[in-house]
């Protein structure tokens, strides 16, 4: 049932916005959880070791360390890229993924601040450490995600005009 002040489309938009904001919050909680001792370097090294075993690949300890570092930094970029995508979409009033430069800048800033709080949290977690380099990687992941939103909108606009 729709009240007199809003249409069914407004109600659907409101429901989508709430769902997107709840998803954003859930993802932020997951990112925080992934910063616990359980998902430290022992966890990522175990994943790399399993992958190498499954693929029947043997590498030097130095190469193993490089692969583990690449996995961890790629995970940082990915989880914060997803967070940025969700933050960007959750703050739109109408079309969630319509390109807005100011919204993109705010989104990257918010994700960057969240990254700082996450690194601060890691400072007090056994087996983890805080790293401004990781914050930079997180912000880069956010910027890549926002750039992907821009590029996708540009491509869709071009495709619809053809």
Helix or strand or coil: residue 84? helix
Q: Judge whether residue 98 has pLDDT over 80.
A: no
In a domain, 51, yes or no: yes
In a domain, 57, yes or no: yes
pLDDT of amino acid 53: 96
pLDDT of amino acid 2: 46
In a domain, 2, yes or no: no
In a domain, 146, yes or no: yes
In a domain, 3, yes or no: no
Phi, psi of 131, rounded to the nearest 5 degrees: -150, 120
The boundaries of the domain holding residue 38 are 8-161
Average pLDDT for 5-34:
83
CA 52, distance to chain mean position in Å, is 26
pLDDT of amino acid 5: 54
Which region among 17-21, 119-123, 132-136 has the lowest average model confidence (pLDDT)? 17-21
pLDDT of amino acid 75: 94
pLDDT of amino acid 140: 98
In a domain, 156, yes or no: yes
The structural domain count of the chain equals: 1
CA–CA separation, 140 and 129 (whole Å): 20
């Amino acid at each position: 049932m729709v009240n007199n002040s809003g249409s069914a489309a407004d109600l659907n938009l409101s429901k989508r916005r709430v769902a997107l904001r709840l998803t954003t919050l859930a993802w932020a909680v997951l990112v925080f959880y992934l910063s616990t001792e359980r998902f430290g370097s022992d966890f990522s090294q175990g994943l790399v070791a399993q992958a190498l075993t499954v693929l029947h690949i043997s590498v030097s300890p130095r190469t193993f360390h490089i692969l583990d570092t690449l996995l961890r930094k790629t995970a940082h970029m990915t989880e914060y890229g997803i967070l940025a995508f969700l933050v960007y979409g959750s703050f739109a009033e109408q079309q969630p993924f319509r390109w807005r430069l100011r919204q993109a800048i705010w989104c990257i800033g918010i994700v960057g601040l969240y990254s700082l709080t996450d690194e601060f949290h890691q400072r007090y977690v056994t087996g983890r450490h805080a790293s401004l380099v990781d914050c930079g990687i997180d912000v880069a992941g956010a910027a890549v995600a926002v750039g992907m939103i821009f590029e996708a909108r540009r491509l869709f606009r071009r495709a619809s005009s053809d």
